[in-house]
């Protein structure tokens, strides 16, 4: 199981932001072997770690730590792929936000989770489910929320990602409605960075830091506001194709892989149980167990495999400390993680990271 990948359309957003800064991104694209052919391919993806390293290099070159916010400013619906086109043709802001969250997975995948949109019972959600989500994320019960998953712990390689997503969502939603008063407030999980004044310049609403997650709160009355480019026939046509693409993604995964993708986000600081995973899959625990056995595996094996592959990816491809990785993967201590890693790979994680980093530097140097 990999950390994730992302459509090259997000590289296009980064490139547009660099143009705004009067910076040439071409040498960096060459460094990461990203060419014009791949940027024009609908199926081209880059790994999440490569995207983060590219963003970090762009920030160093431009000396602009708020690059993510600038990326949001130049984001348009088409940069979000099919999800953006669906939002563009949606009838109202509520329907548009549903498309952005639901079809995000056609444009990117992250082992940490996926974005969500939820509203209260007045707009179609069961009250019990809404109350559960409200308690989980500390959200007031009358709020409509478009939420980006946590990628904590935060560092110079991933802060720009959250900045770009939330500011990009605001830009897109405002462009769909033709109004700048759609968002009630925006919340970030991390502490205010040194460039916090830039958030208040960009967002047309209060900005809060050190919150329970990363999300936009959309005004309740704005949910019914019409999208200026709405088209019912186009929307239905696009969604039919989008649903077929989602089904292809599901059919292309073994049940082991489906369970692994559920385990990934649940590993955040704890070890998920069969019951928790079964609930996410909307299946009985015995059904999950049976399906895994039919594929020649077990729940414990899938859990171990997921931890092993994510461990290797985190150590090889990120700048997270070993303690942070141990926590993210639900190990009781860094020592327990290091023992497990050495058992899986034959190397201590520190030595493994050093050798792979050197190999990558040599490859990128060529």
HEC assignment per residue over the chain:
CCCEEEECHHHHHHHHHHHHCCCCCHHHHHHCCCCHHHHCCCCCEEEHHHHHHHHHHHHHHHCCCCHHHHHHHCCCHHHHCHHHHHHHHCCEHHHHHHHHHHCHHHCEEECCCCCEEECCHHHCCCHHHHHHHHHHHCCCCCCEEEEECCCCCCCCCCHHHHHHHHHHHHHHHHHHHCCCCCEEEEECCCCCCCCHHHHHHHCCCCEECCCCCEEEEECHHHHHCECCCCCHHHHHHHHHHHHHHHHHHHHCCCHHHHHHHHHHHHCCCCCCCHHHHHHHHCCCHHHHHHHHHHCCCCHHHHHHHHHHHHHHHHHHHCCCCHHHHHHHCCCCCHHHHHHHHHHHHCCCHHHHHHHHHHHHHHHHHC
C-alpha to C-alpha distance for 43 and 38, rounded to whole angstroms = 8
Q: What is the pLDDT of residues 172-191, one digit of tens each?
A: 999 999 999 999 999 999 99
pLDDT of residue 1: 56
* pLDDT at residue 329, rounded to an integer: 92
pLDDT confidence of residue 127: 58
Per-residue pLDDT, 130 = 58
- pTM (two decimals): 0.87
What is the pLDDT, as a whole number, of residue 269?
81
Give residue 249's pLDDT. 81
279, 280, 284, 285: CA torsion to nearest 10: -90
Going from the N-terminus, what domains does the chain have, and what CATH number goes with each? 4-245 (no CATH), 253-365 (1.10.10.60)
Angle, alpha carbons 25-78-154 (nearest 5°): 55
| Res 344: pLDDT | 92
- List the chain residues with pLDDT less than 70: 1, 120-142, 361-366
């Amino acid at each position: 199981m990999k950390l994730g990948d992302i459509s090259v359309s997000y590289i296009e957003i980064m490139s547009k932001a660099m143009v705004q800064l009067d910076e040439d991104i071409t040498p960096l694209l060459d460094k990461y072997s990203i060419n014009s052919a791949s940027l024009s391919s609908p199926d081209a993806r880059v790994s999440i770690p490569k995207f983060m390293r590219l963003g970090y290099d762009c920030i160093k070159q431009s000396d602009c730590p708020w690059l993510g916010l600038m990326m949001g400013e130049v984001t348009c619906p088409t940069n979000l792929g099919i999800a953006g086109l669906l939002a563009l043709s949606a009838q109202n802001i509520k329907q548009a936000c549903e498309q952005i969250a639901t079809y995000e997975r056609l444009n990117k995948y992250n082992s940490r989770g996926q974005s969500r949109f939820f509203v209260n019972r007045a707009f179609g959600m069961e009250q019990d489910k809404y109350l559960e989500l409200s308690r989980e994320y500390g959200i007031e019960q009358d709020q409509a929320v478009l939420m980006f998953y946590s990628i904590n712990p935060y560092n110079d390689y991933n802060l720009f990602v959250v900045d770009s997503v939330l500011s990009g969502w605001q830009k897109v939603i405002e462009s769909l409605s033709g109004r700048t008063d759609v968002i009630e407030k925006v919340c970030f999980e991390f502490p205010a960075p040194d460039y916090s004044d830039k958030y208040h310049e960009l967002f047309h609403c209060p900005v809060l830091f050190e919150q329970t997650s990363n999300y936009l709160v959309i005004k309740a009355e704005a949910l019914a506001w019409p999208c200026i480019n709405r088209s019912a026939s186009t929307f239905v046509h696009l969604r039919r194709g989008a649903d077929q693409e989602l089904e292809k993604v599901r059919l292309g995964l073994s049940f082991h892989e489906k369970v692994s993708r559920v385990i990934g986000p649940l590993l955040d600081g704890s070890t998920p149980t069969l019951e928790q995973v079964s609930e996410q899959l909307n299946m009985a625990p015995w059904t999950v167990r049976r399906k895994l056995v039919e594929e020649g595996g077990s729940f414990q094996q899938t859990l171990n495999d997921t931890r092993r592959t994510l461990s290797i990816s985190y150590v090889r491809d990120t700048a997270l400390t070993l303690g942070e990785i141990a926590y993210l993967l639900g190990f009781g201590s860094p020592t327990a993680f290091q023992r497990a890693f050495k058992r899986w790979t034959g190397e201590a994680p520190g030595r493994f990271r050093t050798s792979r980093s050197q190999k990558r530097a040599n490859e990128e140097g060529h």
